[in-house]
Amino acid sequence: MEKHVLALQLSQLLGEEFSREWVYSLIETPKQEKMGDMAFPCFKLSPTFRKSPQDLASELAPRLKHDLFTRVQPTGGYINIFLNQSLIAEHTLKKILTEQEDYGKHSFGEGKTVVLDLSAPNIAKPFSMGHLRSTVIGNALSNLAENCGYETVKINYIGDYGTQFGKLLAAYKKWGDEELIRSNPLAELTKIYVKFHEEAKQDPSLIDEGRDWFKKLEQQHPEALKLWKWFKDASLEEFNKIYQLLGIEFDLTRGEAYYNDKMEATVDLLKEHSLLSNSEGAEVVHLDEEGLPPCLIKKSDGTTIYATRDLTAAIDRYQNYTFDQALYIVGHEQSLHFEQIKHVLGKLNFPWAQDVKHISFGMMLQDGSKMSTRRGKTILLEKVLEEAIDRAKVNIEEKNPSLENKEDVARQVGVGAVIFHDLKHDRRNDVEFSLEDMLTFEGKTAPYLQYAYVRAQSILNRGGFEINSGTPALNDEQAWLVIKQLRSFPEIVEKAYKEYDPSKIAKYLLDVAKGFNQYYASVKILNEDNHLDSRLTLVYSFSLVIRKGLELLGIEAPKRM
């Protein structure tokens, strides 16, 4: 509200050239409390008005007046605004109490559909920490989209096709042990897959055997199909254990192989638009005008490639869901691939091609390098989750052995720690795997946030808090930091979705929890006086926001720990 008021007043003072939206985008929050609650920098106005930012600030500040502002002061090239704390506090708490679960929700996505392609592990390979990022970032973005009014479709696009499966089939025929694989499918399949690549360094003919088996798979060879289906079913069963632990569900689980009988239609469509060219026996779409290398559609041996399947999948998804956005939550090493896909769809004259977006993210590193199944360098997500839960159990036994539902709380805390360790990082940055950092129950972690929520619940229970229709005034200077943070929650949610960046929610929650803990340490919240109800209302508002924020990240908030 106050930002919109400031933006409206300034745009009216500055003239039509400076829109309210433009002014709003420049409003800042000062780093120091003594500099006010909002600030507008005048530096970008200087060229137009041919005045220094300092002079412009001095001229504009006295003309900004509103009940929400207690003081407007020019400082250097900035206009600093101090807000009416009691008015803002009352409005904020009343809004939270009125809206309850709807606080922080938006309606700009209503009537629109977002399709999200996330997780996408490969069958016959373990679910490693490398796949955690796509899974939890994609799930958080889906939660944010729903919170903003969108209809969401979460698709787990399983990697169940391609030349690597030819290599796996060849490896199984050479070294596979059916009994061992049935008892521990992913570990044994990974073992023979790694062995294949090691042996291929000495015997390159193995690569040809892998290609032959993939060709058999494409040609529906009975033995190849039987083995492939077995490996796929066993893999999905193992993956579902992980998803249950993470608390993540999908609207659709579909493998690349689903598009086998649909790819020729895509190839025909490319031919109809005269987009296919022959390149050394292979079929490609040239993207010279876009400054990109050719997009390979068919290899020289006639087999398809994942670009063919992704094009087919995109067309199929639009036909089924008429999406307004199609988000591919895939690592940044696939950026070129998705640029090519988007441009090829554009050349096919699909107007929705511009709504296909690659939401890239950095790698999960181990000792500074990428994890790799073929090199046998992976860390299993299931093992990490299990250890996180075990450590949470130990923590509970030490600090609160009489806690009810210890198993459930340990799962919430342990799994939450793993998810938050990923989401607190900007998705575009690489993340170095560290079990110690991930499972630390202090500092910038989910358990720190969960404990702040538990503390708030305890205060509310001891204070006998009940939601009533009135909102008592909060004349508490020390509560002002928390009020301002709670007030910014809807704006943070909107920004996190529009920038496809869940870390904005994670960082915000850390700040608001820190502010609340400082308030708790400096104020006797349960002191019996005229302001008890207002302080409990603040605690309740904090607890609602921290729980909703954690839910958006896919993390549960236990009421006791």
Handedness of CA 242, 246, 249, 250 (dihedral sign): negative
pLDDT (0 to 100) of residue 415: 96
pLDDT (0 to 100) of residue 353: 98
Give the integer Cα–Cα distance in Å for 510 and 202. 52
* Beta strand residue intervals within 262-329, DSSP E: 276-279, 282-285, 295-298, 325-329
* Beta strand residue intervals within 315-446, DSSP E: 325-329, 356-359, 364-366, 369-370, 431-432
H or E, element range at 40? strand 38-41
Class of domain 407-424+434-553: mainly alpha
Contact between 147 and 497 under an 8 Å Cβ cutoff? The reply is yes
Could you tell me which residues come within 8 angstroms of residue 44 by beta carbon, excluding any fewer than 6 positions away? 26
Q: Which of 303, 312, 269, 299 is nearest to 157 (CA)?
A: 312
Could you tell me which residues come within 8 angstroms of residue 286 by beta carbon, excluding any fewer than 6 positions away? 277, 294
Q: Give me the residues paired with residue 72 across strands.
A: 81
Burial class (CB within 10 angstroms; exposed 0-12, middle 13-18, buried 19+) of 274 = exposed
pLDDT values of the chain reduced to their tens digit, one per residue, 561 residues: 899 999 999 999 999 899 999 999 999 999 888 899 999 999 999 999 999 999 999 999 999 999 999 999 999 999 999 999 989 999 999 999 999 999 999 999 999 999 999 999 988 888 888 789 999 999 999 999 999 999 999 999 999 887 888 999 999 999 999 999 999 888 899 899 989 989 999 999 999 999 999 889 888 899 999 999 999 999 999 899 999 999 999 999 999 889 988 999 999 999 999 999 999 899 999 999 999 999 999 988 777 788 999 999 999 999 999 999 999 999 999 999 999 999 999 999 999 999 999 999 998 887 766 665 555 556 788 888 999 999 999 989 998 999 999 999 999 999 999 999 999 999 999 998 887 887 776 789 999 999 999 999 999 999 999 887 566 667 677 899 999 999 999 999 999 999 999 999 999 999 999 999 999 999 999 998 888 889 999 999 999 999 999 999 999 999 998
Say which CATH architecture domain 2-83 belongs to.
2-Layer Sandwich (3.30)
Handedness of CA 79, 84, 87, 93 (dihedral sign): positive
Give the integer Cα–Cα distance in Å for 86 and 288. 61
> What are the tokens at 498?
């529009």
Contact between 361 and 133 under an 8 Å Cβ cutoff? The reply is yes
H or E, element range at 153? strand 151-158
pLDDT (0 to 100) of residue 117: 98
Domain spans of the chain?
Answer: 2-83, 407-424+434-553
Contact between 346 and 353 under an 8 Å Cβ cutoff? The reply is yes
Total residue count of the chain as it appears in this document: 561
pLDDT (0 to 100) of residue 33: 86
pLDDT (0 to 100) of residue 129: 82
Contacts made by residues 181-185, CB under 8 angstroms, sequence distance 24+: 181/234, 182/234, 185/124, 185/231, 185/234, 185/235, 185/238
Could you tell me which residues come within 8 angstroms of residue 338 by beta carbon, excluding any fewer than 6 positions away? 328, 330, 356, 358
Residue type, 481: L
Give the integer Cα–Cα distance in Å for 54 and 446. 44
Residue type, 165: F
pLDDT (0 to 100) of residue 383: 87
pLDDT (0 to 100) of residue 379: 77
> What are the tokens at 130?
């490398």
pLDDT (0 to 100) of residue 347: 97
148 phi, psi to nearest 5 deg: -100, 10
pLDDT (0 to 100) of residue 516: 96
62 phi, psi to nearest 5 deg: -65, -15
pLDDT (0 to 100) of residue 10: 97
Give the integer Cα–Cα distance in Å for 147 and 423. 18
Structural Rg of the chain based on CA atoms: 28
Query: Do the two domains 2-83 and 407-424+434-553 of this chain adopt the same fold?
Result: no
Question: How far does the chain reach from its first CA to its final CA, in angstroms?
Answer: 37
pLDDT (0 to 100) of residue 426: 95
Burial class (CB within 10 angstroms; exposed 0-12, middle 13-18, buried 19+) of 138 = buried
Which pTM was predicted?
A: 0.91
Q: Which of 477, 557, 466 is nearest to 509 (CA)?
A: 557
Give the integer Cα–Cα distance in Å for 415 and 129. 13
